[in-house]
Amino acid sequence: MLDSGASLHFTNDMDDYIEYAPLSEDIVVHTANGVAFVKGSVTVLLNCPLPSGGHTTVRIAPVYFMPDLSIRLLSMGEFLQKGMRVSGNAKKVSILQKSGKPFLVFHPRTPNDTVYCVESLHARDAMSIFLTVCNLDYQTMHRRLGHPSKDVLRHAREHTADFPTIEFPKEEPLCRGCAEGKMPLRSFPPSVRRASRPFELIHSDLKSFPVDSYHKYKYAIMFLDDHTSYAWAVCLRSKDAALTATKHFLANVENQFKTKVQKWMSDGGGEYKSKAFDALLKDKGIEILQSVPHQPQQNGRAERLMRTLSDKAEAMRFDACLPQSWWEFAIEHAVHVYNRTPLRRLKWRTPYEVLNGEAPSIKHLRVFGCGAYVHLPPAVRTNKLSPKSELMVYIGVAPGGHGFRFMRSPNNIIFTSAHALFDEKMFPKCPTNQ
């Protein structure tokens, strides 16, 4: 209920909130019926019907949990203090954002009633129905696909499945992630010829990182199929591990795609020139191609891929204010979205489509590093009064594509779940929590 006299937002229902922070001491509040006690501060999601159909979800915090309250209250004063405006008539009262767009719409409980309420779903019901809080727009899709250009996003509408209907801006909006995470353009000469079939030619390159990752990785090795432009990446703790990663990659090609690699192109770095590596490729009858020392442009396709993936990963990481040690999650997610992004050299098809024969679904993609209210199974909760969900940071798709991976605070523990409500415009690691 909208209340012009309430100083704060209040709820009396434990099923309302998705995040709960108990107070060190109860706060005493004087009400019309006497004294009540505030037990904690919560985050509430309201899923409200739209006049045009469907629902929109808004996040309200802080809302204070007061069990003895007889009704839920939303403070008009709190909305006004945040720069919002109130507009209405006898049929409805709207809380408007600074842009003039409605934030919440309240209606009389009954005709001619002077008490105005907002219709919404409980958070527990919302998590089973909705996957994301915000409405999809250009900026959200730009972030979901790893910060591509507007031209690439236009082609993604035609060459991916489940691309939403969004409005494209006339000019490219300013993006913090792109500004801070992408390197200046560097030209690479085009390849003289392309492979005529998948796995005829594989390009490989190894990249070192200045900071050890979450799992103490120091390197990432990339594999790129010349024909399809499909990419794979494996994080490594040492250069020696490149040999094992390559063995696993070749086995995956043979088992999953029922074919064999014919040619192997690399820059001739030490990890590719060992006797063991040379023997691995020769034993499989793979022709070894290497660029001339100090001439990396001869391995231009691998260099371009490395730059593309690094740009995507850093743009996503900077946009979400994530620590440098999380580069491994950013690289893995960058590869995932790269393979589902249209490429000019493929006539705007995606590497996924060229390799698998069908357009990829991007319905599962979410903004890397955004906040998500993740369902907590009973075994994980502290007690029966604990929240049924918890705010975590989204760090990519779970291995095998079943569910999502999240980083759980305060101890930075990886948590995997298929049940979460994403807030793709909120980044928990950013100072402004935007």
Nearest one of 21, 96, 100, 5 to 391, comparing CA atoms: 21
> DSSP letter at 254?
H
Which pTM was predicted? 0.79
Residue 231 three-state SS:
strand
Residue type (1 letter), 86: V
For residues 273 and 248, is the Cβ–Cβ distance under 8 A?
Answer: no
What pLDDT is attached to residue 127? 53
What pLDDT is attached to residue 154? 94
d(CA 63, CA 54): 25
Strands 413-417 and 420-423, how do they pair?
A: unpaired
Terminal-to-terminal C-alpha distance of the chain = 27
d(CA 336, CA 314): 15
**Which residues of the chain are under the pLDDT cut of 70?**
14-18, 31-33, 49-55, 120-134, 183-192, 292-299, 384-385, 432-434
For residues 330 and 317, is the Cβ–Cβ distance under 8 A?
Answer: yes
What pLDDT is attached to residue 415? 95
Residue 284 tokens read as 């499989």
d(CA 328, CA 235): 7
What pLDDT is attached to residue 122? 56
For residues 204 and 224, is the Cβ–Cβ distance under 8 A?
Answer: yes
d(CA 343, CA 229): 9
d(CA 108, CA 221): 61
What pLDDT is attached to residue 286? 96
- Sheet containing strand 116-117, strands side by side: 85-88, 93-96, 102-108, 116-117
d(CA 419, CA 90): 40
What pLDDT is attached to residue 129? 46
Cβ contacts of residue 12 below 8 Å, gap of 6+? Answer: 65, 66, 67, 68, 69, 70, 71, 72
Distances (CA, A) of 64 to 212, 265, 322: 41, 61, 30
